[in-house]
A and B are shown apart, each in its own frame.
Chain A
Amino acid sequence: MNILNKKKIFQSLFYYFLLICVVIWSIIPIYFVVSSSFKIPRDIFGYPPSIIPVETTLSNYVNLFIDSPEFMPAIRNSGIVALSSMLLTIVICLPAAYVFSRYKQSLFRQIAILLIAIRMFPPLVISVPLFPILNQLKLSDNQIILIILYTTFEVSIITLILKSFIDSIPFEVEEAAYIDGARMDQVFFYMILPLSKPVLVGISILVGTYAWNEFQFAFLFTSVNAKTTPVLIGEMVGALTGIQWGILFAASVVQFIPALLFLWIIQNQLIHGMAVGAIKG
């Protein structure tokens, strides 16, 4: 083997080493949460901290689902809010994106620019004026308000993503349909909608994950009935009676796994299709 080859192999080994370092940095914190959720209390506080659980147990999960009466409702609330925001966003955005893509009057363009500006709006700023209004309308601590807020904050960016997708569908196909006497609603439902399906899956997941994970609005606007999982986890950390780490780890894992799976499903779209105006928050 000549010297040049040796140098190449050494170099590539070095890059693999760097890669392993980056990967370890990314997943070690997650690994500790997951492995700790299977530890008995003595091992969670054990010194030195055990990397692999010494004694595995499911008792944290059993305690979570049986002894924590708040957890199941919180998961249910998160699910309802995520699913509804997802559907509502799609129902609003797909027709809007279609219009933005196919009708290029200047009024629509100005509105499209407004959409980008809205995307930049800090959500916290709106919660101050919103709070008294929601109390008056008796909408605080209600899933509906979370659904409306999440949808509002996602509509702008999702419309833009969908618009750029519809831009890529050649208009000639539609033209042919119009010549054959199709109405606009027929074109929309029988052509645009089926063609958009793959993008809609990705977008639904994006919105769903956002709603599933969102903390700020849920924390400010829910107290008992509509409390979502992230808020509950935040409360468990801040508990004055001391943190029950075992249950907390189990709750964290149950909350995290769906978000992670969703992320992995849309990973490719996220990396290659999201150059459109900087997506994730």
Chain B
Amino acid sequence: MTDFKPGAPINFVGLSNFKRILSDPNFINSFWTTLKFVVFGVATQMILGTLVALLLSRQFLGQKLWLSLILAPMAMSPALLGTTWKYLLNTEFGPINYAMLKLGMTPIYWFTNSTYAFLALIIVYTWNQIPGVFILIYPSIISVPKELKEAAEIDGANKLQVFSHVIFPFIRSALLIALIFRTVIALRAFGEILVLTKGGPFRATEVLSIFLYKEGFVYFNWGTSAAVGVVILLVTIVVASPQIRLLARQMILD
């Protein structure tokens, strides 16, 4: 809440930093981009992560090896994630555009078109985060007693019914925890976006964390940058409070 800039005297400016960011169209843009990123990014990773966990709960031959391979993406550093996909999605020599060409589609300029850049970010982020959802859901899925599933199948339930009536009640709380935790993580995504797109093109992938970084560490507007930080913190608190309350209650009970 000050107008701090390196070398200049510090003045208390009340809420004016918040007024400034709220009237800044770039802040509003990055707020909506964050919302879009979190909603789409978390939704795809939750759905795919749960599906992968369901598939793996069938216990294949060589289960351990498959698990190792499926978890591999989560060992990637954000910087490496950005690098890898910048190559894969490269318009001139990237394998993905080549494959698309072979399949009869027109190559996409992933990082110069706003819509495609955002789509690329969602794909990359999902690829990286699926294992994170997986390790939270998989243990609770394999804890569902086999007899229950078999009994339901004998009674003539189809796959969808088995999932919604037998498996879902078992994994509901794990899903909720995963949802909250993945949202909190998505809200702080920074490195992968910076390396992949730098927030561009035309601020299409500029989420709040990138906006904060640019305000503070590029333009040295520490005051507004800190105000953006407070906004991120508030959103995080709202999202995380049910889980904190839940864990707190467990903590008190045991």
Contacts and interface: CB of A to CB of B under 8 A. Distances in A.
Nearest to A256: B80
Contact of A252 (B80, B185, B236): B80
Contact of A237 (B93, B195, B209): B195
Contacts of B185: 281
B248 A113 contact: yes
B93 A45 contact: yes
Contacts of A213: 75-78, 80
Contacts of A279: 135
Given A19-B60, A234-B194, A252-B83, A29 B88 contact: yes
- Secondary structure type dominating chain A contacts: helix
A238 B82 CA distance: 11
B68 interface: yes
B132 A280 contact: yes
A47 B67 contact: no
Nearest to B86: A237
B75 A26 contact: no
B226 A129 contact: yes
Interface string B36-70: 00000000000000001001101010001011111
Contacts of B180: 278
A215 B188 contact: no
Given A272-B139, A278-B181, A122 B187 contact: yes
B233 A121 contact: yes
Interface string B198-232: 10000000000100110011000010011001101
Interface in A221-267: 229-231, 233-234, 236-238, 245, 248-249, 252, 255-256, 259-260, 262-264, 267
A25 interface: yes
- Secondary structure type dominating chain B contacts: helix
A274 B135 contact: yes
Interface in B134-151: 135-136, 138-140
Contacts of A262: 75
B160 interface: no
Given A32-B87, A128-B225, A233 B248 contact: no
Contacts of A214: 77
Contacts of B178: 278
A270 interface: yes
Given A47-B98, A116-B244, A263-B75, A278 B191 contact: no
Nearest to B208: A124
A119 B84 CA distance: 29
Given A116-B248, A274-B135, A29 B93 contact: no
Nearest to B83: A237
Interface residues of A, number: 76
B244 A15 contact: no
Interface centre among B74, B85, B94, B102 (most CB of A within 10 A): B74
Nearest to B124: A29
Nearest to A126: B229
B254 A167 contact: yes
A16 B217 contact: no
Interface string A12-48: 0001101100110111011011001000000011111
B98 A49 contact: yes
Contacts of A29: 73, 84-85, 88, 127
Contact of A124 (B79, B127, B184, B229): B229
A128 B229 contact: yes
B236 A121 contact: yes
Interface of B: 4, 6, 52, 55-56, 58, 60, 64, 66-80, 82-88, 92-95, 98, 102, 127, 130-132, 135-136, 138-140, 174, 177-178, 180-181, 184-185, 187-188, 190-191, 194-195, 198, 209, 212-213, 216-217, 222, 225-226, 229-230, 232-233, 236-237, 240, 243-244, 247-248, 251-252, 254
5 contacts: A116-B251, A128-B226, A220-B213, A256-B76, A262-B75
| The 9 residue pairs across chains A and B that have the minimum distance between CB atoms | A215-B191, A213-B77, A278-B181, A230-B79, A125-B229, A120-B240, A263-B75, A259-B75, A234-B79
